[in-house]
Structure 1
Amino acid sequence: MTTPLLLGLIGLALAQPVPALLARMEWPYRAPRAAVVLWQALALAAILAMVGAGLSASLWLVVHEGAPNPAPDAWRVALHVAFMALTLVVVLRTAWSMIVVAIEVRAVRRRHRTLVDLVASRDAAGRSVRILDAPEPLAYCLPGMDARVVLSRGTLASLEPSELEAVLAHERAHLRARHDLVLDAFTALHRAFPRVLRSDAALDSTRVLVELLADDHARRASGTTPLARALVKIGTQPAPAGTLGATTTLVRRIERLEEDGKGRREAAACYLTAALVVLGPTISLAVPWMSSAWATLS
């Protein structure tokens, strides 16, 4: 019974307290790409641990002294069926959440894209750029196969050419790297967990990290000063639902622009931790249990 208990505790820890603790740490934000991998590893390891706990517990209930029990008690059979059902629910809930989020987000973006094409004008800066006739500073992108970068008249009026180029580079970095797929996956995993186990830390932190990744590209393309000035000028308006915007997490993003470090040590720590989180329970608990289960059933 040790394996299911340990896997269950690991799954619960990775679902809530560990993400909450990691979200309060500053060092992962110095290596955003590696930090995204770390968050993905935590989510994957949590689901694998939950599934492994259910499977190992269900097998333990019908095995006696290292061999299948030919006549298990009724309560063992009932618990065995219950654990198998719960394991199946975890898998199906995760898959269903992925499908539902993909459908919902795609519909929201399609409606917003249609609306933007109706009310906005094309811009000479690019075929996919649309200009809204609004005085408020807005800048965001609509990802997908038919992507759009949306700016407002207020943004064009308030930015210098170099600053506008930095904003466009930021939004195009989102589209080129398909950061929307990363956020959609975390949104689905967030919904897949029951409310009592659900933590906003992974989704919120990933939203920050993809903005930092796009900032890195914009800084390389246009320079740090134009990007920082652009963030200050347009960094107050939230982006619409289903879009990726350059106006969130303003304080953290500007503070990071002031840092000169490359974050190599932080990146190495993130990758190492991600590998340990996924491979540690697998090698130390799952593989020995699978070997023992195979020997028992064969």
Structure 2
Amino acid sequence: MMVSLALLLLGALAAVVAPRLLSRADWPEREPVVALWVWQCVVAAVLLSFALSMTFSAAAAWQAVRGHVFASAPHGVMEAYSLGSNRPWSAVLAVVLASGGLWTAAMLTREIHRARRRSRTRRAELLVRSPALPGEAPGCDPLVVLESERSDAWWLSGATPQLVVTTAALRRLKGRQLDAVLAHEQGHARARHDWLLHCSGALANGFPQVPVFAAFRDEMHRLVELAADDAASRRFGRRTIALALVELNEDRGVFGPGTAPDAQLPQRVSRLLSPVERLTAGRRLRLTAAAALVPVVPLLIAFVPGLRALG
């Protein structure tokens, strides 16, 4: 029972403390790709802590579960976990955590279905506005140009991602600016940022009171854009992608006074035009390695009693 409570406490502590620590750090904006990895590792550690706590609580409460969990364990390992005590509390904790796990799976399933439905709807609308030519398979063109007075460019996720750009954007973007915008959207497609947004949205909608999940969703929306900006700027320069963002969004009141519809855009442009020095390769490697070790902590807590029993 103590192992289960320790894992539960670890997951709850990480869910509260991790967002505060990461919000105070000054490096995520400089290294958005590393920050994306760190956030994923933190959330994985929280989910793993709760899953392991549920497993040990169920093993303590019910003999059938205990037999399956420790079926292949050497003699003496099961006794090291003291699973025979506090069975009523173990059963309650196991049921609560199992309910949370089922709710998480339901939220992820719902988000995937909604995303697929939105994708099908958008592709159908796109096919109406830009029908396939005779002899051309619908949806096979990787780049679609739409007649529109609104400057815009986006990508449609799916088995065959498509980049969509409007004629107004083609008129406004000059020279390499169009290439930079397309590289930005291709950066989203290559990194499969849509999956990060779907998973973070599902967790935040399913558990709105859990700080780490709400912060995870907000940071994913911000960091994926910064990462795509950096991917485009490495090929075409920071000034080019910054000017392209201004040209695309200037008519929407984003850069004027008052409340902007997308407050992140001015910050992204300022970041591109006033770059700060990246972290050293050594520090990036250390951050990546340290983040990868975060999900290992609940595994160590779970297996330490068993390893001690083995001598």
Measured against the shorter chain, the TM-score band is 0.7 to 0.9
Find the counterpart in structure 1 of residue 15 from structure 2: 15
Give 1:64 deviation, angstroms: 9.0
Deviations 1:164-217 (A, max 9, x none): 11111111221222221222222233334x332254211111122221222222
- d(CA) in 2 for partners of 1:218, 1:291: 49
> Do the aligned partners of 2:3 and 2:81 also contact (CA within 8 Å) in 1?
no
Find the counterpart in structure 1 of residue 192 from structure 2: 178
Instruction: State the one-letter code of the partner of 2:285.
Output: A
Deviations 1:122-167 (A, max 9, x none): 8xxx932223333222121111113222222321221102111111
Q: Does 1:261 align with 2:261?
A: no
- d(CA) in 1 for partners of 2:131, 2:24: 42
Find the counterpart in structure 2 of residue 276 from structure 1: 293
- d(CA) in 2 for partners of 1:68, 1:35: 39
Give 1:254 deviation, angstroms: 2.4
Find the counterpart in structure 2 of residue 42 from structure 1: 42
Find the counterpart in structure 1 of residue 226 from structure 2: 212
> Do the aligned partners of 1:28 and 1:266 also contact (CA within 8 Å) in 2?
no
> Do the aligned partners of 1:94 and 1:189 also contact (CA within 8 Å) in 2?
yes
> Do the aligned partners of 1:57 and 1:80 also contact (CA within 8 Å) in 2?
yes
Find the counterpart in structure 1 of residue 89 from structure 2: 79
> Do the aligned partners of 2:61 and 2:88 also contact (CA within 8 Å) in 1?
no
> Do the aligned partners of 1:56 and 1:289 also contact (CA within 8 Å) in 2?
no
Greater shift, 132-141 or 107-116, is seen at 132-141
TM-score (norm 2): 0.76
> Do the aligned partners of 2:14 and 2:46 also contact (CA within 8 Å) in 1?
yes
Q: 2:172 aligns with which of 158, 174, 187?
A: 158
Aligned to 1:27, what secondary structure does the other structure show?
coil
Q: 1:249 aligns with which of 247, 264, 268?
A: 264
Q: Does 1:88 align with 2:88?
A: no
Find the counterpart in structure 1 of residue 259 from structure 2: none
Give aligned pairs, total: 277
Identity fraction in percent:
27
Give 1:119 deviation, angstroms: 1.4
Aligned to 1:261, what secondary structure does the other structure show?
coil
C-alpha distance 64-144 of structure 1, shift in aligned 2 (>3 A): closer
TM-score (norm 1): 0.79
Aligned to 1:88, what secondary structure does the other structure show?
helix
Greater shift, 46-55 or 33-42, is seen at 46-55
Q: Does 1:110 align with 2:120?
A: yes
- d(CA) in 2 for partners of 1:96, 1:214: 30
Find the counterpart in structure 2 of residue 195 from structure 1: 208
- Mark the runs of 5 or more structure 1 residues left unpaired by the alignment: 239-246
- d(CA) in 2 for partners of 1:287, 1:206: 32
> Do the aligned partners of 1:42 and 1:277 also contact (CA within 8 Å) in 2?
yes
Give 1:99 deviation, angstroms: 1.9
Give 1:59 deviation, angstroms: 5.0
> Do the aligned partners of 2:177 and 2:244 also contact (CA within 8 Å) in 1?
yes
Find the counterpart in structure 2 of residue 133 from structure 1: 147
Instruction: State the one-letter code of the partner of 2:215.
Output: A
Find the counterpart in structure 1 of residue 3 from structure 2: 3
C-alpha distance 179-274 of structure 1, shift in aligned 2 (>3 A): same
> Do the aligned partners of 1:32 and 1:213 also contact (CA within 8 Å) in 2?
yes
Aligned to 1:195, what secondary structure does the other structure show?
coil
Q: CA RMSD in A?
A: 3.2
- d(CA) in 1 for partners of 2:49, 2:169: 47
- d(CA) in 1 for partners of 2:201, 2:285: 26
Find the counterpart in structure 2 of residue 287 from structure 1: 303
Greater shift, 97-106 or 262-271, is seen at 262-271
Instruction: State the one-letter code of the partner of 1:278.
Output: P
> Do the aligned partners of 1:117 and 1:130 also contact (CA within 8 Å) in 2?
no
